């Protein structure tokens, strides 16, 4: 028997294709503006000097297939379809080769966003937490090992809402590659097995409504699905 005062947070686990053991998620890092066309639609420019980040708590992760109420505190909840990658070994101040070797698996993910609260943050030069660190806003499909996925490049990334195409690009459109992200991020964090990085979204982000079914895919990976029901 433990002597916790209440049950501690359960570890969020992701299935890995072809692997009996599951991947326990530790931290979630998210890359901002990693596709030129999305940076432009947000009224900004790509930062070519270095990638930059925000985070989501692992407590806010949900599995693909989740059915969740439209979240409180927004009238402009947006979909962002993203490639996520999973770190499989400790890596700090990584070389290019070490960075690539630390990427254990890839998966489809949704970075759901209160766009109005994110805009408040931009307008007032405040953090984006209410916009980005939303309960249930990090939606993850099961992972595919990097060796099985192959090189990131021409795979199509896309998102549909109620079957209608909203986002589409190829992974080669990313400004910063997964390896480059690990190289950079590992200068600031001792990355560990269990850490996940969401690599940014292509153009075509937009609002979703209660009742919408959001489905995203990337060639070679399991799709990610989210259904929104009426607000609580
Ligand atoms: Mn995003």
32 CA from centroid of ligand 1 (Å): 6
| pLDDT tens digits, 96-106 | 999 999 999 99
Q: What is the DSSP letter of 60?
A: G
30 CA from centroid of ligand 1 (Å): 6
4 CA from centroid of ligand 1 (Å): 35
229 CA from centroid of ligand 1 (Å): 22
Local structure of 100: helix, strand or coil: helix
The predicted structure's pLDDT at residue 153: 96
201 CA from centroid of ligand 1 (Å): 5
173 CA from centroid of ligand 1 (Å): 15
The predicted structure's pLDDT at residue 184: 98
| pLDDT tens digits, 76-131 | 999 999 999 999 999 999 999 999 999 999 999 999 999 999 999 999 999 999 99
What's the pTM value of the predicted model, to 2 decimals?
0.97
Please give the Cα distance from 42 to 38 (Å, whole number). Answer: 6
Distances (CA, A) of 163 to 3, 24, 75, 78: 49, 31, 22, 16
What percent of the chain is predicted at pLDDT more than 90? Answer: 94
| pLDDT tens digits, 195-216 | 999 999 999 999 999 999 999 9
Local structure of 40: helix, strand or coil: helix
Query: pLDDT confidence of 166, banded at 50, 70, 90?
Result: very high
Tokens of 100: 């690539």
109 CA from centroid of ligand 1 (Å): 9
According to DSSP, the residues that pair with 157 across neighbouring strands are 169, 218
The predicted structure's pLDDT at residue 1: 60
How would DSSP label each residue in 165-212?
A: EEEEEEGGGBSS-HHHHHHHHTTTS-B-TT-EEE----S--EE--TT-
7 CA from centroid of ligand 1 (Å): 31
């Amino acid at each position: 028997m433990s002597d916790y005062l209440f049950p501690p947070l359960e570890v969020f686990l992701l299935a890995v294709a072809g692997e009996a053991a599951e991947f326990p998620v530790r931290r979630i890092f998210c890359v901002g503006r990693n596709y030129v066309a999305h940076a432009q639609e947000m009224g900004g420019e790509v930062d070519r000097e270095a990638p930059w980040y925000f985070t989501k708590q692992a407590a806010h992760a949900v599995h693909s297939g989740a059915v969740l109420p439209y979240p409180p505190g927004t009238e402009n909840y947006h979909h962002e379809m993203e490639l996520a990658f999973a770190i499989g070994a400790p890596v700090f101040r990584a070389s290019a080769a070490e960075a690539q070797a630390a990427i254990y698996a890839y998966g489809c993910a949704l970075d759901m966003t209160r766009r109005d609260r994110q805009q408040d943050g931009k307008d007032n030069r405040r953090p984006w937490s209410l916009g980005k660190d939303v309960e249930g806003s990090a939606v993850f499909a099961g992972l595919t090992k990097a060796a099985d996925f192959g090189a990131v490049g021409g795979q199509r990334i896309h998102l549909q809402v109620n079957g209608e195409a909203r986002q589409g690009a190829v992974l080669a459109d990313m400004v910063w590659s997964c390896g480059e992200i690990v190289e950079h991020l590992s200068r600031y964090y001792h990355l560990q097995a269990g850490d996940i990085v969401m690599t940014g979204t292509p153009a075509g982000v937009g609002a979703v409504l209660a009742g919408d079914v959001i489905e995203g895919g990337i060639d070679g990976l399991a799709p990610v699905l989210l259904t929104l029901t009426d607000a609580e």
